[in-house]
Amino acid sequence: MKAVCLCDVGGPEVLRVASVERPDPGPGCVLVRVVAAGICHHDVLARAGLILGARKDQIPGHELAGEIVAAGWDVSAERIGQRVAIYQRIFCGCCRHCLAGRHDLCRDSHVIGENGGGGYAEFTSVPAQNAIPIPDGIEFAAAALAACPIGTSVRAVLGVAQIGSGSVVLVTGSGGGLGLHQIQVAKSVNARVIAVTTSSAKESAIRAAGADEVIVSPDLQFSGEVWRLTGKQGVDAVLENVVTGSLRESLRSCGRNAIVVILGNIGAENVDFDPGLVISRRIRIAGSGNATFADMHLALDLIARGIVRPNIGKTLTFSDAALGHALVEQRAVAGRVILRGW
């Protein structure tokens, strides 16, 4: 089969199309013909060697959807032909976190594409439980984004930040694949959303996603404007997708007892912050990551009901995966870059 392989760690040029052996579905697994795959910034960091545990000589990609074409001997043959979206974590299934439904916290786990065959390929084999049926009316490219970024946004917005009606939410990196979906998830519970972007070219896409106010701040000095927009009250929650260069301003934008949920670190660097500010305003800082199965099912439901619209900024062929990575790295596209067709 054709696949995009990570031949080394480095720039986008290390992604190359190759002919590799098609996997066979083992016990408990299904073989999926990949129709669409998204390019996540996590993929970009892994390709560059900035993700712990990521390795070369892998087929990357954890955002994918397709059709089951074969199944392991112990998987019902009725699953063959199902349209499915893939839950991106491979997990142990028996630790206390897995048993509590928090497979995203399993220590004996990894993201598809980092330690096994990913979605930048014609076919991939995954555990049958990771292949979630796609509701009627959702096309493959939209379903590929159900686990990440939409399910990831559901986890951060509703699970970690527990945003509700009337909450005032600040979203950094709002023109990216996570930000545009976080805005929609927050608006689904009637929150007020203030969005920050460094690019005026992305402002229209951010407003179309539902942001109430958009701050274009190329230098990431945005806290003064947030303070003005909130009547000097600050925000209740920050969805921090940038961190490098923005965390200090995000903390300054917080009101009393606010929460800052960290999802990304674009520069993959350590950052400084003012602990006195955190203490005086009782700010909570929390990390958030992959969706749970429940988050993914909710994401698919939100998509099916038209409440969240998967934001696809550009569609390329799988053979152009290196170009897609370059565009994501340059933040040149509002929304997700999707790969489909060869």
Domain boundary assignment for the chain: 2-145+310-339, 153-287
**Top-confidence residue, 51 or 201:** 201
Among 84-88, 113-117, 260-264, the least confident range: 113-117
Among 78-82, 125-129, 160-164, 327-331, the least confident range: 327-331
pLDDT digits (tens, 9 = 90+) for 54-80: 666 789 999 999 999 999 999 999 999
**Top-confidence residue, 2 or 114:** 2
**In the predicted model, is pLDDT for residue 94 greater than 90?**
yes
Closest CA to 318 of 341, 302, 337: 341
**For residue 49, which phi and psi values (nearest 5 degrees)?**
80, 20
* CATH architecture classification, 2-145+310-339: Alpha-Beta Complex (3.90)
Closest CA to 41 of 156, 219, 175, 185: 175
Structure tokens at 286: 């929390």
CA–CA separation, 323 vs 11, rounded Å?
Answer: 11
Among 16-20, 46-50, 96-100, 114-118, the least confident range: 114-118
Amino acid in the structure at residue 78: E
pLDDT reported for residue 114 = 80
pLDDT reported for residue 117 = 77
pLDDT reported for residue 116 = 65
Grouping H, G, I as helix, E, B as strand and the rest as coil, residue 1 is coil
pLDDT reported for residue 291 = 96
The stretch 239-267 carries a mean pLDDT of: 92
Does 60 sit behind a cis peptide bond, omega within 30 degrees of 0 on the bond before it? no
* Residues 315 and 29 sit within 8 Å (Cβ to Cβ): no
CATH class of the domain at 153-287: alpha beta
Residues 6+ apart with CB under 8 A from 3: 17, 18, 19, 20, 59, 117, 120, 121, 122
The mean pLDDT of the chain is: 94
pLDDT reported for residue 174 = 95
Domain 2-145+310-339 and domain 153-287 have a common topology: yes
DSSP secondary structure string for all residues of 176-207: SHHHHHHHHHHHHTT-EEEEEES-GGGHHHHH
**Whole-prediction pTM value?**
0.93
pLDDT reported for residue 211 = 98
Closest CA to 173 of 271, 61, 264: 264
Closest CA to 146 of 225, 85, 199: 85
- Give 326's pLDDT tier (boundaries 50, 70, 90): very high
DSSP secondary structure string for all residues of 91-156: --S-SHHHHTT-GGG-SS-EETTTSS--SSBSEEEEEGGGEEEPPTT--HHHHTTIIIIIIHHHII
* Residues 13 and 295 sit within 8 Å (Cβ to Cβ): no
- Give 265's pLDDT tier (boundaries 50, 70, 90): confident
